[in-house]
Structure 1
Amino acid sequence: MSAARIGVSQGTALYVGAILGAGILALPSLAAQEAGPASVLAWALLLLFCVPVAASFAAMSTHHPDGGGVATFVSKAYGHRASAMVGYWFYFALPAGAPVTAYVGGQYVADAVGGGQGAALGFAGCLLAAAFGTNAVGLRVSGRVQLILVGLLGLLLLTACLLALPDADPGNMTPFAPHGLLAVGPAASLLFFSFAGWEAVTHLAGEFRNPARDLRLVTLLTLVVIGVLYVGLALTCVLVLGPELAESEVPLSLLLEAGIGGAANAFTATLAAMLTLGTMNAYLAGASRLGAALARDGSLPAWMAKGNLPGEIPRRSLGVLAVLSVLVSAVALGVGADLGSVMLAASACFIAVTVAGLVAGVKLLPSRRPVWYGAILAAAVMGVVLLFSGIFLLVPVALAGGALWYTRRGARPLPATEKAPATSV
């Protein structure tokens, strides 16, 4: 067993990477179309909503640090079969979510360098291979790569804002709510997926050197970093770009052009690549450990359990994800699947995981404490968001059916000697 673990700095980088995504390149414009300058309020409100979600998962991860993440929480609260369903939702959504994320990043890079569809697919393949490669080497290396990525990303975004600020015009804040304050609601709904990702990093809790000490600090630091980057960027876009913000499909490029001129394309390509790679890196780190934990507990074939102990590398589980990602990509390209549909199918599964984790928190967390009330509130809001998945709810339903079928076949968990020891905090 390897003793390699992650500390606060690498953990924060992995957490931030799971939340940040390539959507930040376009969402300031889309939110401004809905609510005008008042869209800044939507960013701030969603940041506040993240607090109970993050606090709930941090509290449960502290007491149950395990590669199963949310599936472990659900197992403690509602039993093995419910846990298997939740695990399937996350694990089998990843082979759809990762290629789509890579393709979105590849499109931005290709556009920035003047390439077409072939170039976008090529860049996507490179980003996907890089994310799988860093995780195959190990979480310590993956965490260091993530630390560098997030550090550079934060520096680039802050630099973009600071260089553009001399062109800021307070007059661009008026009229503040051209479509009424109620338009902040639809804008917040649109921006929601830029704040998802807390469910992905629960699988890494067992990899911290000291979960009881580190998890709360990492969660707090992540909220601060996300808040500064998101709200700061949204406010700068409104102040600098004004009405042009709502009309642009590439607001960050316009912001960069205002600050650095002709170098904006290269800047945007770098940002898109880092955002995409950072998100995939964090999700793969969590999903590969989840797969090994599911196999350990009898919910997937036992041969996939190798690497389920803290500090080990779950290469078999990671390999299964790589093969499934290639297959999903091939099928999607072969049938000409709509990009948005693939994203919505994966999102329905990830939202379902978050709802399940928060519902488990209502049972596991100390009752009538602030974090308990926060879990109830967040579960209710996320449940409503899940219903908006519509027809794509059939994807988590089908995966739940697969999990129930497999667990009813009589698969048994590994012996205790091949499992990670229980941790009491």
Structure 2
Amino acid sequence: MEENARPGTHPARGLGAVTGAVMLLGAVLGPGALALPTLAADAAGPASLLAWALLLLASVPVAATFAALGGTHPDGGGVAHFAAIAFDGRIAAAVSWWFLTAVPLGVTAAALMGGHYIAAALGAGPGFAMGVGFGLLVASFALNAAGLHATGRIQVLTATVMVTLLVVTVTVSFGGVRSEAFTPFAPHGWGSVGTAATVLFFAFAGWEAATHLSADFADPVRGLRRATTLTLALVIALYLGLAVVTLGVLGPSAGSDPAPLLTLLRRAFGPTGTALATAAALLLTFGASNAYLASGARLGAALGRDGALPRRLVGRTTPGREPRRSLAFLGACCLVVAVPVLGGVVTLDGLVRATSALLAAVTLTGTLAGIRLLRGRQRGNAVVASAFLAVVLVFCGALLVIPAVIGAAAVLAAGSARVGS
């Protein structure tokens, strides 16, 4: 992949550290805050706290690696761009297909999480949840079509309210934490911590998304590093706090409560908690969808620029122009994903786990590229991050078939394209 932005050519009105942090926060601190505490508690009970802690700790070298890569090699192709430089075009093709597959799966899962939460808050049924979820998805597509600057301005507002709501939830709920709620600590055995970690990876896979926006920063080196540091501090505090109060207040029911944030807010604020939970679901869903659609659209356009995907489908990267054709392609992919979801063939848990497996493969490839492209302490971060991500992939188990099949298809397509040329 050729570089989309070179020194001295970054947009004058590009993203700053604060707006960049907001976009990144939307990718990492998304609707996972709504449903993942329950999914993790169901998998491992109170021992899921270990999975949260391990993932938060591992997020430091992972985030640092992608900030360094994005600052050094800014390009809309993101991890695929790094893979092309560090390895070859076949690996880059596999990464591209993994991420482009993960985007429609992930944003659909995010939309459904938000829809189900809002339906639970309002006492509505599954049909209403589906309608709200897909309505949120359409709104995210419309906002991205308006442009990255419009998306960034709205993200600043929504992120401010979102963080405030989560801080209030953790603060007011902390007094209700009971020590007995954490016993037995590992009711499903210690191996369940690894299972919980694969589910929770859905909430920590946003760091690679920022690399697709790296070329849109006014100063990719300092801006992306500062945005990552700010986001990392907020994510660690909010996710760990939310996990503790969910387990400590709800106890054994934490693993079966479909809307733990709603329950916490209702306990703290009564009927007002319903409105707060609805607002949180809207903001968390909207923020994550916006961030991933912005990243996915830029990757698709970068692939069109480099001839890795047909330009009729995804267009190509053009400085100063929004990748609307690529965005439309992602919209069509979301419609394809929606069919089995609406038909009840694919569940929310299935979407989350499939997305996690794909993004874990993308993220590991990115950190492995970091080992080859970075030096000094940055390279050390990449080594630590790669070791951790390899363990996460192992715990994905049978789901590894998904990135394996998609990756093989991408490599074959890339080989055919070279032969044809």
**Residue range with higher mean Cα deviation, 403-412 or 72-81:** 403-412
In 2, are the aligned partners of 1:288 and 1:317 still within 8 Å (CA)? yes
Give how far 1:188 is off. Answer: 4.3
TM-score for both structures, normalised by structure 2: 0.88
**Correspondence for 1:62:** 71
* CA distances 1:30-88 after superposition (whole Å, capped 9, x unpaired): 54566665654543332111011011111111110000000000000012222112111
* CA distances 1:307-366 after superposition (whole Å, capped 9, x unpaired): 513432000100111112112212443473333333333322211111111111111111
**Correspondence for 1:316:** 325
**Correspondence for 1:44:** 53
CA distance in 1, matches of 2:128, 2:41: 30
**Correspondence for 1:185:** 193
Give how far 1:240 is off. Answer: 4.2
Taking only aligned residues, the RMSD between alpha carbons, in angstroms, comes to: 2.7
* CA distances 1:241-273 after superposition (whole Å, capped 9, x unpaired): 456545644322232122211122222222112
> Given residue 185 of structure 1, which amino acid in structure 2 is its aligned partner?
V
| Residue of 18, 28, 47 corresponding to 1:19 | 28
Q: Judging changes above 3 Å, is the alpha-carbon distance between structure 1 residues 250 and 337 closer, same or farther for their aligned structure 2 residues?
A: closer
SS in 2 for 1:346: helix
Q: Judging changes above 3 Å, is the alpha-carbon distance between structure 1 residues 211 and 122 closer, same or farther for their aligned structure 2 residues?
A: same
| Residue of 400, 403, 419 corresponding to 1:396 | 403
**Residue range with higher mean Cα deviation, 258-267 or 279-288:** 258-267
Matches within 5 A, 1:65-84: 65-84=74-93
CA distance in 2, matches of 1:139, 1:307: 16
Q: Judging changes above 3 Å, is the alpha-carbon distance between structure 1 residues 41 and 254 closer, same or farther for their aligned structure 2 residues?
A: same
SS in 1 for 2:76: coil
Give how far 1:192 is off. Answer: 3.1
**Correspondence for 2:291:** 282
**Residue range with higher mean Cα deviation, 357-366 or 186-195:** 186-195
* CA distances 1:97-130 after superposition (whole Å, capped 9, x unpaired): 2222211211111121121121111101211011
> Given residue 201 of structure 1, which amino acid in structure 2 is its aligned partner?
A
| Residue of 296, 300, 303 corresponding to 1:294 | 303
Determine if the alignment matches structure 1 residue 370 to structure 2 residue 377. Answer: yes
**Residue range with higher mean Cα deviation, 124-133 or 328-337:** 328-337
* CA distances 1:280-317 after superposition (whole Å, capped 9, x unpaired): 11100000000000111110113456451343200010
**Residue range with higher mean Cα deviation, 394-403 or 172-181:** 172-181
Q: What are the ranges of 5 or more consecutive residues in structure 1 without an aligned counterpart?
A: 413-425
CA distance in 1, matches of 2:187, 2:394: 26
CA distance in 2, matches of 1:348, 1:45: 18
Determine if the alignment matches structure 1 residue 168 to structure 2 residue 176. Answer: yes
Q: Judging changes above 3 Å, is the alpha-carbon distance between structure 1 residues 391 and 32 closer, same or farther for their aligned structure 2 residues?
A: closer
CA distance in 2, matches of 1:346, 1:171: 34
**Correspondence for 1:422:** none
**Correspondence for 2:282:** 273
Q: Judging changes above 3 Å, is the alpha-carbon distance between structure 1 residues 66 and 257 closer, same or farther for their aligned structure 2 residues?
A: same
**Correspondence for 2:391:** 384
**Residue range with higher mean Cα deviation, 98-107 or 221-230:** 98-107
Determine if the alignment matches structure 1 residue 118 to structure 2 residue 113. Answer: no
* CA distances 1:214-261 after superposition (whole Å, capped 9, x unpaired): 111111001111012112223334554456545644322232122211
In 2, are the aligned partners of 1:88 and 1:403 still within 8 Å (CA)? yes
Q: Judging changes above 3 Å, is the alpha-carbon distance between structure 1 residues 302 and 191 closer, same or farther for their aligned structure 2 residues?
A: closer
In 2, are the aligned partners of 1:5 and 1:311 still within 8 Å (CA)? no
CA distance in 2, matches of 1:174, 1:387: 27
Matches within 5 A, 1:195-274: 195-242=204-251, 245=254, 248-274=257-283
TM-score for both structures, normalised by structure 1: 0.87
SS in 2 for 1:299: coil
Q: Judging changes above 3 Å, is the alpha-carbon distance between structure 1 residues 402 and 380 closer, same or farther for their aligned structure 2 residues?
A: same
Q: Judging changes above 3 Å, is the alpha-carbon distance between structure 1 residues 228 and 396 closer, same or farther for their aligned structure 2 residues?
A: same
Identity of aligned residues (%): 42
CA distance in 2, matches of 1:356, 1:230: 25
CA distance in 1, matches of 2:296, 2:111: 16
> Given residue 338 of structure 1, which amino acid in structure 2 is its aligned partner?
T
> Given residue 269 of structure 2, which amino acid in structure 1 is its aligned partner?
I
> Given residue 393 of structure 1, which amino acid in structure 2 is its aligned partner?
L
**Correspondence for 1:100:** 109
**Correspondence for 2:4:** none
> Given residue 327 of structure 1, which amino acid in structure 2 is its aligned partner?
V
> Given residue 141 of structure 1, which amino acid in structure 2 is its aligned partner?
A
CA distance in 2, matches of 1:390, 1:249: 25
- State the aligned residue count: 409
Q: What are the ranges of 5 or more consecutive residues in structure 2 without an aligned counterpart?
A: 1-9
In 2, are the aligned partners of 1:60 and 1:361 still within 8 Å (CA)? yes
> Given residue 413 of structure 2, which amino acid in structure 1 is its aligned partner?
Y
| Residue of 162, 165, 171 corresponding to 1:153 | 162
**Correspondence for 2:95:** 86
Q: Judging changes above 3 Å, is the alpha-carbon distance between structure 1 residues 34 and 93 closer, same or farther for their aligned structure 2 residues?
A: closer
SS in 2 for 1:67: coil
SS in 2 for 1:371: helix
